[in-house]
Amino acid sequence: MHAAQFANRLTGETSPYLLQHARNPVDWYPWGPEALEAARRSDRPILLSIGYSACHWCHVMAHESFEDEATAEVMNRLFVNIKVDREERPDLDRIYQTVHQMLSRRGGGWPLTVCLNPHDLVPFFTGTYFPKEPRYNMPAFVQVLHQLADFYAERRGDLAQNGLVLREALEAMGREGGGDALPDADLLMRAARALQANFDPVHGGFGSAPKFPHTADLEFLLHSDGQPFAMLRTTLDGMARGGIYDHLGGGFARYSVDERWEIPHFEKMLYDNGPLLQLYAEAAVRTGDPRYAAVAVETAEWAIREMQSLEGGYYAALDADSEGEEGKFYVWDRREVQALLSADEYPAFSRRYGLQDTPNFEGHWHLRVAESLEAVAAAVGKSPEETVSLLDSARARLCAVRDRRIWPGRDDKVIASWNGLMIRGMTVAGRLLGREDFGASADRAFAFLRRTMDVDGRLMSVYKDGRARFDAYLDDHAFMLDAALELLQTRWNADDLAWAVDLADRLLERFEDTEYGGFFFTAADHEALIQRPKPWMDESMPSGNGVALRALMRLAALTGDLRYADAAERGLKAAQSSMAQYPNAHGALMNAAREWLTPPPLVILRGEAEALERWRAQALEAAPEALIYAIPADAADLPPALAARVPSPSGPVAYVCREQVCSLPVESADALGELLKSH
């Protein structure tokens, strides 16, 4: 029987990743009461497999093992098999990745393969990818399965004792905090030094291969001077030149497999591109470098064109593979390029993007900037302006041809937290670069999230095929609150402010650790699992705690409600010991701490909506870091602190506040600019 003739319990799911396995001969269950009860009742261990749709090695293991009838027979006979999309259930992924790191003493990854005691859900084995046959110094997957089943049958005493120790260790992770010390300027300097010690001065970024963007760390460098800011520029330059950036279509791949940013793991994730879009836009304003603006614009245009649904939300990811091969959509044959381009275009393009060199990806060329624009212009005997024109036309021609290829799979889930990151990035880029279409894109996504994913007072985490599912996590609440506050700086909407306040209240009520401070990853009424994580460190995304604390500070400054500032202070005290122990692993919390120590100026503009635009532009030019809210004179339902900032009958007026101290009303745009520049 061909594998395509099978059907298992995943056929009713909405996750593209789970649906990829719905025709496996493996009798997969989704995580839920039915699967857990079946395992307890049959006294078979649970084989838990966690992955996601854009994961290359997940596809490899699926093709080798999960589509193989002989392997499936062993899995079905010895285990209850549960397949989880880590993007739908980041709570499960976070817990079992933590256990994997504890047991193996090394980092995790995907696919994550975990064997659980069905009676308490505590793992007694973890691993990642296993091959069908022994290779890469790894045993065959079926061999591992037999050993695990034998261990479960024969070593019950060890299981109980090891499970008790593991649970105690997991529970202890939630008890840190409760101290009185707040992060200080010395801790920020220690973080900068730690980042510098791990910095690659040649290519930028941190560490060696594989190399990830670490966007929260880069944001920390962005708001620094001297050497830290130089580190940021080296990194932004290296990524923009490298193949991690898509030089034809815009947007960034998830990471580079080498230290040069040259060859990416080709999947494109929404959660990277939102923060990177913002970083390049902010760096463009700070430096005046048009190359950064170009990367920001191309990335935003890619997100709107390829990742935004007609309903408004942003999709999750583009796969690394197409036609079963990693990177096939993105790489080129040199003769193909030469045949497509004109006699003037090809010499410039081939020099600029490395076609003069040897193939750099499995016999093909993956584009990266190999020569400077000035060197290319000199080599082809053209002016820089003519060379730019030739390169632009060549890129457009190749992009149009590439668009006719078979595309990588697209994971069309809409994830609230990832959308929050893109909404924030799109909003900031639109505001700084004067692109109203970017702001409009963010507005559409935000309206979609509010309309479809906030159900009966509960935010949902994932939307797919008309269904909003899974109670939202800390990251969903934190990143959407952060996004709402950015949108309010672009266009005032009292209803959105009220929603942001309500979301912050839910965050405090359902997620805060009232004993030790900070926020748990799951809500108080979430499904009971073997751990309730409280994550401080950044992972593939900025720490939800770090983003939440900064957003709460900003909400307190805007509304005057000090409950939010108090919660932020409790969280910073709770996080301080972890930040001090690993200062370069807490970028988002360091950004929150910096803002706690040195709050950006808060500018409240009141007046007629049209007249406020010139004031906003002048304030933004004088202080790009300022939080600027232009509130129309007729705005209703304002919190008392904002209602007290009254408009003037004679024209617009501005109130500038720094660290809870506000200026007298400023009645001219020029005076506002001078006031902001003077500090």
pLDDT tops 80 at residue 284: yes
Q: Is residue 22 part of a domain?
A: yes
Question: Could you list the residue range(s) of the whole structural domain that residue 668 is in?
Answer: 602-677
Q: Is residue 179 part of a domain?
A: no
Last residue of a domain, one of 577, 597, 617: 597
pLDDT tops 60 at residue 2: no
Last residue of a domain, one of 351, 369, 404: 404
Residue 658 · residue 604 · CB < 8 Å: no
- Which residue type is seen at 212? F
93 token code pair? 């992924």
Pair 450, 511 in one domain? yes
Pair 584, 665 in one domain? no
Query: If phi over 0 gives left and psi between -120 and 50 gives alpha, with beta otherwise, what is residue 323?
Result: left
Per-residue pLDDT at 532: 95
Per-residue pLDDT at 1: 38
Pair 160, 194 in one domain? no
Q: Is residue 651 part of a domain?
A: yes
Per-residue pLDDT at 351: 98
pLDDT tops 70 at residue 414: yes
Q: Name the least confident of 76-80, 550-554, 577-581, 643-647.
A: 643-647
Residue 413 · residue 271 · CB < 8 Å: no
Task: Give, in degrees to the nearest 5, the angle at Cα 54 between 51 and 56.
Answer: 80
Residue 475 · residue 541 · CB < 8 Å: yes
Pair 519, 649 in one domain? no
Per-residue pLDDT at 177: 61
Among residues 541, 545, 679, 675, which one has the least CA distance to residue 605?
675
Last residue of a domain, one of 144, 172, 200: 172
Pair 145, 293 in one domain? no
Q: Is residue 183 part of a domain?
A: no
* CATH (domain of 498): 1.50.10.10
**Rounded Cα gap, residues 260 and 243, in angstroms:** 9
Pair 207, 226 in one domain? yes
Q: Is residue 178 part of a domain?
A: no
Phi/psi for 76 (5° steps) reads -70, -30
> How confident is the model over 647-671, as a mean pLDDT?
89
pLDDT tops 50 at residue 172: yes
Q: Are strands 321-322 and 325-326 parallel, antiparallel or unpaired?
A: antiparallel
* CATH (domain of 44): 3.40.30.10
* pLDDT mean across residues, the chain: 95
Question: Between helices 227-241 and 270-287, what is the axis angle to 10°?
Answer: 120
pLDDT band at 679 (very low <50, low <70, confident <90, very high): low
Q: Which residues pair with 460 in a beta bridge?
A: 471
Pair 311, 165 in one domain? no
User: 505-516 burial string, b = 16+ CB within 10 Å, else e?
Assistant: ebbbebbbbeeb
Pair 134, 204 in one domain? no
Sheet holding 653-658, edge to edge: 627-632, 602-607, 653-658, 661-662
> How confident is the model over 82-102, as a mean pLDDT?
96
Pair 441, 362 in one domain? no
- Which residue type is seen at 3? A
Q: Convert the pLDDT of each residue in 174-190 to its tens digit.
A: 666 667 899 999 999 99
3-state DSSP percent of the chain in helix, strand and coil, to 5: 50, 15, 35
**Rounded Cα gap, residues 402 and 396, in angstroms:** 10
Per-residue pLDDT at 181: 93
Pair 345, 299 in one domain? no
Q: Is residue 180 part of a domain?
A: no
* CATH (domain of 373): 1.10.10
Among residues 429, 356, 343, 344, which one has the least CA distance to residue 388?
344
Q: Is residue 182 part of a domain?
A: no
Pair 398, 447 in one domain? no
Among residues 422, 128, 403, 83, which one has the least CA distance to residue 269?
422
The number of distinct structural domains making up the chain is 4
Pair 162, 24 in one domain? yes
Report the percentage of the chain scoring pLDDT > 70.
99
